[in-house]
């Protein structure tokens, strides 16, 4: 069986992560044809050639449009800054390629609608890079919720904190531009939001506050530039099924490195999870003698599938890049016509609708129903 032909656009943080996944997926899972790493695109031919050598692609180009007419390419990974996603994803779909696009879909809601519509028209697979839903721990939490292990879930607290923008002296870059989106919401809060979607279904209404801790950031070439979006956001949610949720996101939180924490409270117990300790979760069940009740820590093990595909020993742990490899396997399943655990452009648009409702709630200082945002 011929493996999928892959085109990759961008080789930064996420581009390398996609490239590792495409390189590893056949070896890890053992049940798919090895993808063919055909062409890598970067901003210029020199960088593209260097990265193609490093990441194992046969060809390279300084013009991403070269990927579109190449019949050897079946699927395109879009890992460029947010503002490029609509143009690149739509062009790839229109060229008949499947698309694996990094989050968020687009800074503007109507562009995200355009991406969803392009996927519908093309009839190709469209997948978003919401890797955290792939953690075997999250999959197991979903199972616990489905089985009613903690009774009826009634409240969720979600937090996402990192400190990559905590230093006021850190130079201005694309993440602080309005053209890249709302900052803390679509750059950041979308990750815990993807977990809320994966675990609880859709958002019904929201109210949001946002904060800009630093008004300006220094420019590398000297001087300073106005920060155009917000680094901190707090949202109250009403979720499908009457569950209430709180989501707090801060990309300028000194000391936090990769926190995506969930506290899920139910009528018979609670579940705690934090991405900084991504190989474990805590479970509290209100049964047995009160004297012995307490949170217990469960470490991931081969029975938390697909952990078993990476390592046979319990408690040894997966890493961030492994989540992308799992996402890649799901994408290959979807392309093969199998049922897959992915956020596609249809679900991605539902998430975008929530994000834009959050921004509208902040701008208009009121609760906003997600249904106010029409396609
Ligand atoms: P980055 O700045 O590290 O990398 C972006 C890359 O795109 C760079 O290599 C840049 O040279 C390249 N690029 C820019 N314009 C290009 C063009 N016209 N043609 C070809 N290449 C071009 O950024 P990043 O942190 O990797 O973020 C990229 C995307 O990934 C963003 O949308 C971001 O939101 C998302 N992201 C997702 C996760 C996740 O966990 N899923 C984590 C971080 C970032």
The atom number, within ligand 1, closest to the CA of 17 reads 26
Å from CA of 103 to ligand 1 middle: 10
CA angle 329, 55, 258 (to 5 degrees): 65
The ranges assigned to domains in the chain are 5-131, 132-318+339-364
Give the rounded percent of residues in the chain with a pLDDT score beyond 90.
Answer: 96
Distance from C-alpha of 156 to C-alpha of 174, rounded to nearest angstrom: 32
pLDDT at 241: 87
Å from CA of 14 to ligand 1 middle: 6
Give strand pairing partners of 283: 271, 296
pLDDT at 321: 98
pLDDT at 289: 96
Å from CA of 16 to ligand 1 middle: 10
Å from CA of 92 to ligand 1 middle: 17
Q: Which residue is closest in CA terms to ligand 1's atom 4?
A: 12
Residue to probe by mutation, ligand 1, list 44, 48, 102, most atoms within 8 Å of CB: 102
| Ligand 1 within 6 A of CB of 73 | no
Q: What is the token pair recorded at 15?
A: 């581009």
* Digit-coded pLDDT (tens) for 255-297: 999 999 999 999 999 999 999 999 999 999 999 999 999 999 9
5-131 CATH choice from 3.40.50.720, 3.40.605.10, 1.20.1740.10, 3.90.1150.10: 3.40.50.720
| Residues of the chain where predicted confidence (pLDDT) is lower than 50 | none
| Ligand 1 within 6 A of CB of 136 | no
132-318+339-364 matches 5-131 in CATH topology: no
CATH number for the domain running over 132-318+339-364: 3.30.360.10
The atom number, within ligand 1, closest to the CA of 16 reads 26
| Ligand 1 within 6 A of CB of 14 | yes
pTM: 0.96
Give strand pairing partners of 5: 36
pLDDT at 153: 96
| Ligand 1 within 6 A of CB of 192 | no
| Ligand 1 within 6 A of CB of 83 | no
pLDDT at 111: 97
| Ligand 1 within 6 A of CB of 242 | no
């Amino acid at each position: 069986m011929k493996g999928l032909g892959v085109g990759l656009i961008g080789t930064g943080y996420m581009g390398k992560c996609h490239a590792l996944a495409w390189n590893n997926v056949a070896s890890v899972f053992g049940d798919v044809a090895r993808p063919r790493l055909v062409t890598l695109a970067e901003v210029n031919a020199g960088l593209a050639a260097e990265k193609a050598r490093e990441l194992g692609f046969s060809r390279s180009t300084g013009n991403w449009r070269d990927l579109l007419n190449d019949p050897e390419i079946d699927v395109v990974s879009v890992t460029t800054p947010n503002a490029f996603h609509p143009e690149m994803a739509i062009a790839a779909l229109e060229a008949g390629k499947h698309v694996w696009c990094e989050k968020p879909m687009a800074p503007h809601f109507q562009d995200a609608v355009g991406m969803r519509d392009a996927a519908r028209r093309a009839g190709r697979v469209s997948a978003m890079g919401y890797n955290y839903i792939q953690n075997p721990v999250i999959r197991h939490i979903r199972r616990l919720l489905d089985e009613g292990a903690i009774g009826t879930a009634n409240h969720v607290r979600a937090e996402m904190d990192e400190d990559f923008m905590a230093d006021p002296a850190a130079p201005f870059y694309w993440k602080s531009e309005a053209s890249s989106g709302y900052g803390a919401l679509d750059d950041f809060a979308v990750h815990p939001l993807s977990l809320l979607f994966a675990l609880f279904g859709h958002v019904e209404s929201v109210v949001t506050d946002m904060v800009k801790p630093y008004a300006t950031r220094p420019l590398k070439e000297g001087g300073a530039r106005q920060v155009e979006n917000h680094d901190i956001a707090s949202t109250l949610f009403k979720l499908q099924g009457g569950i209430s949720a709180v989501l707090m996101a801060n990309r300028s939180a000194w000391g936090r490195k990769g926190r995506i924490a969930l506290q899920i409270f139910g009528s018979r117990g609670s579940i705690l999870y934090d991405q900084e300790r991504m190989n474990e979760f805590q479970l509290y069940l209100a049964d047995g003698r009160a004297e012995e009740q307490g949170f217990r820590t469960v470490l991931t093990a081969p029975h938390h599938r697909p952990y078993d595909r990476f390592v046979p020993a319990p408690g040894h742990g997966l890493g961030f890049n492994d989540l992308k490899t799992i996402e890649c396997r799901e994408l290959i399943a979807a392309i093969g016509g199998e049922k897959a655990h992915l956020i596609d452009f249809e679900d991605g648009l539902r998430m975008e609708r929530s994000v834009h409702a959050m921004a509208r709630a902040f701008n208009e200082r009121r609760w906003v129903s997600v249904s106010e945002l029409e396609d």
